[in-house]
Amino acid sequence: DAGVIQSPRHEVTEMGQEVTLRCKPISGHDYLFWYRQTMMRGLELLIYFNNNVPIDDSGMPEDRFSAKMPNASFSTLKIQPSEPRDSAVYFCASSPALTTGNTIYFGEGSWLTVV
Amino acid sequence: QKEVEQNSGPLSVPEGAIASLNCTYSDRGSQSFFWYRQYSGKSPELIMFIYSNGDKEDGRFTAQLNKASQYVSLLIRDSQPSDSATYLCAVGASDMRFGAGTRLTVKP
């Protein structure tokens, strides 16, 4: 089975530019998560969706960040305008259900550098 | 704010020794506990999960949970150099929170 697929794997962009990160969850998984990982703050939950509906976006740092899930097989995380402090690894993850016995499965991550 | 705390390490053990990794959490209502391993430059991968008080063993790995003390640990027996990685404790379900991780180095 294909795992969670993220693109791009690496992106270097200039401050002020728009960044769009993409994710394809594992087929049949009802939950999709976006995490950000930095050395300083570790792995932080930004937002998660259930059946394409955003459930909790309390971790989204500010209005420059937005996430969408137009269908069950695709999600985007957008940063506009980007800033150097947004440099991090952004992980997308999915889960079949949030019940005992299930966990989340991570993609390979998108490594973002804002200069 | 639901907190997950791990001893920051780094932790260094000789090959063949037991590595002990610890984690505490703040939310008494938490029901699900996970240990992930993350190699440098890679994504986290699940190695153990535990839901009930007590021990759970899987090969060389043993997870221990004490809900009264809000404490979960991971023991790695017969540590190998390939176990060198950062170990992340995670707590929760839909709002899964991760600790900062403990970097483990197993020296040959």
* CA separation for the pair A68, A21 (Å, rounded): 11
pLDDT at residue B79 greater than cutoff 80: yes
- The b-or-e profile of A64-93 (16+ CB within 10 A means b, else e) is ebebebeebeebebebeebeeebebbbbbb
* CA separation for the pair B104, B87 (Å, rounded): 7
**Left (φ > 0), alpha (ψ -120 to 50) or beta: where does B78 sit?**
left
**For the CA atoms of chain B, what is the radius of gyration?**
13
Residue written as tokens 């640990």?
B73
A4-55 pLDDT, tens digit each: 999 999 999 999 999 999 999 999 999 999 999 998 888 999 999 999 999 9
Which residues of chain A lie closer than 8 angstroms to B100, CB-CB? Answer: 42
* CA separation for the pair B76, B12 (Å, rounded): 12
Closest CA to B49 of B86, B93, B108, B79: B93
* CA separation for the pair B63, B49 (Å, rounded): 8
Sign of CA dihedral A48, A66, A75, A25: negative
A46-99 pLDDT, tens digit each: 999 999 999 999 999 889 999 999 999 999 999 999 999 999 999 999 998 776
Closest CA to A31 of A9, A65, A55, A7: A55
pLDDT at residue B80 greater than cutoff 90: yes
What pLDDT score was predicted for residue A39? 87
What pLDDT score was predicted for residue A61? 87
Contact B42 A99 (CB under 8 A): no
Give the nearest chain A residue to B44 (CA atoms): A106
B27-55 pLDDT, tens digit each: 888 888 999 999 999 999 999 999 989 99
At B93, the pLDDT band (50, 70, 90 cuts) reads: confident
- CA B4 to chain centroid: 11
Interchain contact B3–A (C-beta under 8 A): no
B103: tokens are: 């970097």
Closest approach of chain B CAs to the CA of A52, in angstroms? 14
The per-type count for chain B, helices as H runs and strands as E runs, is: 0, 11
pLDDT at residue B94 greater than cutoff 80: no
Contact B22, B6 (CB under 8 A): yes
